Amino acid sequence: MKRIIIIILSIISIICFMVGLYFYGLTGFTGKNSDDVVSFTIRSGASKKEVIRNLYENKLIKSQIASTIYLYLHPSVEVYPGTYKIKRSMDTPEILDYFKTSEEYHLTFIEGKRFIDYIDQICEAFDFNKEEVLKKLNDKDFLNELIEKYDFLDQNILNSDIYYPLEGYLFPDTYYFNSKSSIEDVITKILDKMKEVLDNYNALIKKSDYNYHDILTIASIIENEAKLMEDKVVVSEVIYKRLDLKMALGMDTTTYYGANKTFGEVLTKEDLDSDNPYNTRNLSLIGLPVGPICNPSEDSIKAALNPSDDDYLYFYTDSNGKLYFAKTYAEHQNNVEKYR
């Protein structure tokens, strides 16, 4: 009897060893080359099961079932949103530990702010060197990679007159990153969101006489000129009417941007007369400025694609930000005198 028990225990031990060995094999690394690195993103709010499924679909783990079992056996494992660089030499425990030890950062970018404002936020959060970041985001090789990846980016952003190539293309929203994110990871995630938003309007953009760069330029002007949606669509109409009539847009917001001044500063006669590709107050500039002047909200993008039909050609903004529209120059002058 004793011998039988020993035999049974031995068989059970062997089975457990084999199962453990098999389980270990299924949670082992998927590639032999430790230099083979894959970019893997965990979205905000993703469950552990979803992360395991995505790891399996990206061939970063051998078995979805075995890795799920590993999670149940290790309930303390946590995963944080962000983009990770995973080596194929890493096994399941190493990958999950990599996720667990990462810190979560979240940044909220406000609509209407300029590219440089966003970069200041990013550099402060991640302790990036601002000069190096700006150098990277002006690098033509990197920009061409982005143009190749995103259909809404084109050669317009490489225009040497543009202050910041990605101005207007960084969608204002709240984003989650991990502490290991590079500037490339951060920018890619923001551009992914812009693509998601613009995909909703592809049909309208394709029907338009204007390209993505033009639409975002128009939207950026609308963003800085109007706060209410009911005003945005009318400002949009004024812009299109002036473009059709070959009139200068005459928008102060573009002059501020061209002069590198904030809205609290005073525009000088030199600023207003300046011959730069952003200053639409200069009557010699007919058409749109060379690029966007801020990063517009979805409402402003929507307004740029859906202008009103009120036949207005002018508007005046009082000190409280209220807009007064006019169809003729005489009406406009009256509004200026009345509400100044």
State the pLDDT confidence band at 28, using cuts at 50, 70 and 90: very low
Q: What is the chain's alpha carbon radius of gyration, rounded to the nearest angstrom?
A: 28
Domain edges within the chain: 2-102, 105-198, 202-339
pLDDT at 5: 55
73: Cβ–Cβ under 8 A, 6 or more apart, which residues? none
Q: 274 or 62: which carries more pLDDT confidence?
A: 274
Instruction: Please give the C-alpha separations between residue 62 and each of 37, 42, 55, 74, 91, in angstroms, as whole numbers.
Output: 16, 19, 9, 18, 9
pLDDT at 144: 96
Please write the tens of the pLDDT for every residue from 8-25. 555 555 454 444 444 444
* Residue 129 clears pLDDT 90, i.e. is over it: yes
Average pLDDT of span 36-47: 78
* Residue 6 clears pLDDT 80, i.e. is over it: no
Please write the tens of the pLDDT for every residue from 288-306. 999 999 999 999 999 999 9
Q: CATH number of 2-102: 3.10.20.600, 3.30.1490.480, 3.30.450.40, 3.40.50.300? A: 3.30.1490.480
pLDDT at 20: 47
Please write the tens of the pLDDT for every residue from 139-186. 999 999 999 999 999 999 999 999 999 999 999 998 888 777 889 989
* Residue 33 clears pLDDT 60, i.e. is over it: no
Mean pLDDT across the chain: 86
Measured between its terminal Cα atoms, the distance across the chain in Å is 105
Average pLDDT of span 219-223: 98
pLDDT at 19: 46
Provide the b/e sequence for 87-115 (b: ≥16 CB within 10 Å): bbbbbbeebbebbeebeebebebebbbbb
